[in-house]
Structure formats: structure tokens, C-alpha cells
Structure 1
Amino acid sequence: MKYIMFEDFSGDPLPIMFPNRINHLEFREQIPYTKVLSAGYVQIRENGFACHGESKELGVAARAEDGKIINSKLEAPEQ
């Protein structure tokens, strides 16, 4: 899958994942957040999500912390 990491309106990173058949730029045009932090490809591995690659159209690449951010957003909230 592909992903784009946006900065949401409160300044927090917000990852959005989408199918490989959709172009990064096409997807980016549909989202209202103004700042793109990173983008690339995401895979599920034994120890969580791993991000790699880049989006030449957006001029950004995957960052080392992106997988951890995606993991944290998908974890069940503490009760």
C-alpha cells in the first residue's frame, strides 16, 4: 500500500494509507491538510509497519519514524 503522512490541523502527524493503483498526487489533491510530511510505501511486518520509498510527485520520502507513527495510530486506546 501507499501512504501520505500529513500534518493535521492541530500539528500532529496523520498517516493515510491507500491502494498502490492510486497516484500519490491524485490522492493528495483530495485531502484538505496543507502540509505533507512524508510519503511512500507501507508494509506490515512481524514487528509492525515498515515504510520505504518516496513520492517524486510530492517531493517527499518515507522517514524512519513513519512506521512507528502508523503503529501508534492503529493501536487500541488504553482503557
Structure 2
Amino acid sequence: MKYIIFEDFSGRAIPVLFPDRIEHGELREQLPYSTVLSAGYVNHSGGGFVCHGEAKSLGAAAGQGDAAVIERHFQQGEP
């Protein structure tokens, strides 16, 4: 899967996960958030989420804390 982590209007990091067949740039155009914090690819292994790669079209890459942001989002049950 692919992902983009945006900064929402209150300053929180919001991850959006989506299928590989959708381009990072295409999804970016559909969302109102102004700031892309990071983007790349995400896999879920037995030990949790693993983020890697980059989204050249956004000028963003996977960040060291991205897996933790995604994990936290699922644990908190946020929409």
C-alpha cells in the first residue's frame, strides 16, 4: 500500500493509506490538507507497520517516525 501523512488544520499528523494503483499525486489532489509531512509505501508485518520509499511527485519520502504515526492512528480508533 501507499501512504501520505498530512498535517491537519490543528497541526496533527494524519496518515492516509491507499492502494498501490493510485498515484501519490492523484490522491494529493483530492484532499484539502495543505502540508504533506511524508509519503511512501507501507507494509504490515507480524511486528507492525514498516514504511519505506518516496513519492517523487510530492517531493516527500518515508520518515523515521511514520510507522509510529500510522500505528497510533489505528490504536486510537480515529476515523
Shared fold (TM-score, shorter chain, > 0.5): yes
Paired residue secondary structure (1:39)? strand
After TM superposition, what 4+ stretches of structure 1 lie above 3 angstroms from structure 2? none
C-alpha distance in structure 1 between counterparts of 2:3 and 2:76, whole Å: 21
Q: How many equivalent pairs are there?
A: 77
**Which region of structure 1 is more displaced relative to structure 2, 68-77 or 51-60?**
68-77
The one-letter amino acid of 2:52's match is H
Higher percent of residues as helix: 2
1:43 aligns with 2:4: no
Unaligned 5+ runs, structure 1: none
Aligned to 1:11: 11
Computing the radius of gyration over CA atoms, which structure comes out larger, 1 or 2? 1
The one-letter amino acid of 1:37's match is L
Aligned residues: CA RMSD = 1.0
Post-superposition Cα deviations, 1:19-64, rounded to whole Å, max 9, x if no partner, equal 0000000000000000000000000012211100000000000001
The one-letter amino acid of 2:70's match is I
Seq. identity, %: 55
1:21 aligns with 2:21: yes
Judging changes above 3 Å, is the alpha-carbon distance between structure 1 residues 76 and 12 closer, same or farther for their aligned structure 2 residues?
Answer: closer
Unaligned 5+ runs, structure 2: none
TM score, norm. by length of structure 2: 0.94
C-alpha distance in structure 2 between counterparts of 1:25 and 1:50, whole Å: 21
